[in-house]
A and B are shown apart, each in its own frame.
Chain A
Amino acid sequence: MKTTRTTYISKLATDLKPSGIRRFFDLAAGMEGVISLGVGEPDFVTPWNIREAAINSLERGITSYTPNAGLLELREEIAFYMNDQFQVDYSPKDEIIVTVGASSAIDLALRTILDPGEEVIVVEPCFVSYVPMVELAGGVAVQVQATKENDFKIQPSQLEEVITSKTKAILLCSPNNPTGTMLNKEELEAIASLAIEHDLLIIADEIYAELSYDEEYTSMAAITGMRERTILISGFSKSFAMTGWRLGFVCSPIEISNAMLKVHQYALMCASTMSQYAAIEALRNGRPEVDEMVKSYRRRRNYIVQSFNEIGLECHEPGGAFYAFPSIQSTGLSSQAFAEQLLMKEGVAVVPGDVFGESGEGHIRCSYASSLDQLQEAVRRIKRFVDTLQETR
């Protein structure tokens, strides 16, 4: 008998929500003269010595696979770097896996730890991929909302409220995309003690750790008792301006790491070889460039946050990453309407806060990884837009 299907697409894929970012990209991409504060990546080009290291590896004809976990030489550099910068201790041999961006590290972690129906608490507003990735891994994403009132810092009581017998892990990102909020040691400790009490894992997305501007950065894995239950995710995209190289890594205790390596070897084999050579150079000799970039981001943050507050868009001071997340509630518009009208009237692209989760509503994400000239022009245009809104109200 002949069979016919109504669709070839899986239910899981069908049910995935289209990304709100995508819609804005489509709107903005066709327009001329747009100043974009909508970009989630550094405005720096990868430092030359790092690019040169990749070119050199190609010239030497190093074009084959690397070990599944990545070049040992690179893992050794990562181990040294993580210890040096964040006082966490991982064995390069069996506790570090080099991945295809932090993205694939998050995916890897989720697929390795989740049984069908197990819950992962996702703190919103957050990176748009978290919830879909949990769902694709067969888990259930339980969203909790960090709010403006708490400077977008999640309160332990909020987490406690949603912990059930099915909860397996909490997915945390600090400094955060989109809010820039960074959790300090005490705040991490409070969350850690919950994790310990309920025997939960913490997936700590620390990809923006280097980009912290005021306080010393504390890694979740450095909190007492947390190394054994933390899956620490980081990468080269943001701190070394290497987004297009697709290179990240994940550090975790040996048992988890071994299981992840099994998944990784079948799904991806290994990360790009030339990128790994570039990354070795980044870790060995990239420090001065990173420091320069951090300095530059900090100044731009100071400029943009104060400018937003002057315009009347209330903005908390983000401790890290390169995003400001001002409130646009004073305008009476929804974040979608604000972002859309701002784009159409003034040609400034920002990302409406609600695409990062419910509590992002009433805010817009403005990346300040743009030249100061662009930022100044964007501020002028946003001010004009907001002023016109106030007049017509």
Chain B
Amino acid sequence: MRLTAKEMEIVEILEKDARLATDVIAKMVGLSVEETKQAIKKLEDSKVLVRYISIVDWTKVENHPGVRAMIDVKVTPKRGVGFDEIAERIYRFDEVSDVYLMSGTYDLSIIVEGKSLNEVANFVSQKLSTLDSVISTTTHFILKKYKHDGIIFENDTNKDKRIVVSP
């Protein structure tokens, strides 16, 4: 699907801040509020705008026990379906948030979310490694998130350090 210049702008704007009010977006791109609403609806209907989600810094939340792990998975591809079948087997698990087919020394890179180290470990040992095509797994737990989807966590580079009035 080809987007018009204005639609493209709307997507770019929403990608950075999904909560921006429609009238503000309208002004930014030079459309009426009604036209902007319609454009957004069209983009939603066609699944260009898939979902609006938040970037959460769970490390700030003391009573949130979440852990994430990146797991390198080596698999045996199957004739006819290649990696797609095993990828699907894996991404259907709710614990799995991301699945990528990789070049290099392993085949699939997946991200698993769980409440605790144990939970993730159990998922890997009981569900993932027992799949027929899976040859091996290497699990890396994420210790700290510095940057996610272009957003830098906990850094004061982006604080306004300018003097209040200048020529």
Residues of A within 8 A of B (CB): 19, 21, 24-25, 28-29, 34, 36, 38-41, 43, 45, 127-129, 177, 295, 299-300, 302-303, 306-307, 349, 351, 370-372, 376
In the complex, which residues of chain A have a beta carbon less than 8 angstroms from the beta carbon of B157? 45
In the complex, which residues of chain B have a beta carbon less than 8 angstroms from the beta carbon of A25? 163-166
B14-54 residues at the A interface, CB under 8 angstroms:
17, 20, 24, 27-30
What's the Cα separation between A24 and B167 when bound, in Å?
11
Q: Is the CB of B164 within 8 A of A39?
A: yes
Task: Identify A372's interface contact among B20, B160, B164, CB under 8 A.
Answer: B20
What's the Cα separation between A347 and B38 when bound, in Å?
37
B73-127 residues at the A interface, CB under 8 angstroms:
none
B134 contacts A by Cβ under 8 Å: no
Contact A299 B163, CB 8 Å, known A372-B20, A372-B24: no
B13 contacts A by Cβ under 8 Å: yes
Q: Interface SS of chain A: helix, strand, loop or mixed? A: mixed
B162 contacts A by Cβ under 8 Å: yes
In the complex, which residues of chain A have a beta carbon less than 8 angstroms from the beta carbon of B158? 45
Chain B interface size range: 10 to 19
In the complex, which residues of chain A have a beta carbon less than 8 angstroms from the beta carbon of B13? 299
Q: List 7 A-B contacts (CB under 8 A).
A: A28-B165, A29-B163, A38-B165, A38-B166, A39-B162, A43-B162, A299-B29
Smallest distance from the beta carbon of B166 to chain A beta carbons, Å?
Answer: 5
Smallest distance from the beta carbon of B54 to chain A beta carbons, Å?
Answer: 16
Q: Which of B9, B13, B160 has the most CB of A within 10 A?
A: B160
Q: Which 10 A-B pairs have the closest CB atoms?
A: A38-B165, A299-B28, A25-B165, A303-B27, A36-B164, A306-B27, A40-B166, A28-B164, A303-B28, A24-B165
B51-79 residues at the A interface, CB under 8 angstroms:
none
Q: Is the CB of B167 within 8 A of A29?
A: no
Q: Is the CB of A41 within 8 A of B162?
A: yes
Task: Identify B164's interface contact among A29, A128, A177, CB under 8 A.
Answer: A29
What's the Cα separation between A302 and B30 when bound, in Å?
7
Q: Is the CB of A43 within 8 A of B27?
A: no
Interface string of B127-167 (1 = CB under 8 A from A): 00000000000000000000000000000011010111111
What's the Cα separation between A384 and B3 when bound, in Å?
38
Smallest distance from the beta carbon of A310 to chain B beta carbons, Å?
Answer: 9
Q: Is the CB of A303 within 8 A of B24?
A: yes
What's the Cα separation between A372 and B21 when bound, in Å?
11
What's the Cα separation between A39 and B164 when bound, in Å?
6
What's the Cα separation between A34 and B165 when bound, in Å?
11
In the complex, which residues of chain B have a beta carbon less than 8 angstroms from the beta carbon of A45? 157-158
Q: Is the CB of B167 within 8 A of A127?
A: yes
Task: Identify A34's interface contact among B9, B164, B167, CB under 8 A.
Answer: B164
What's the Cα separation between A303 and B13 when bound, in Å?
13
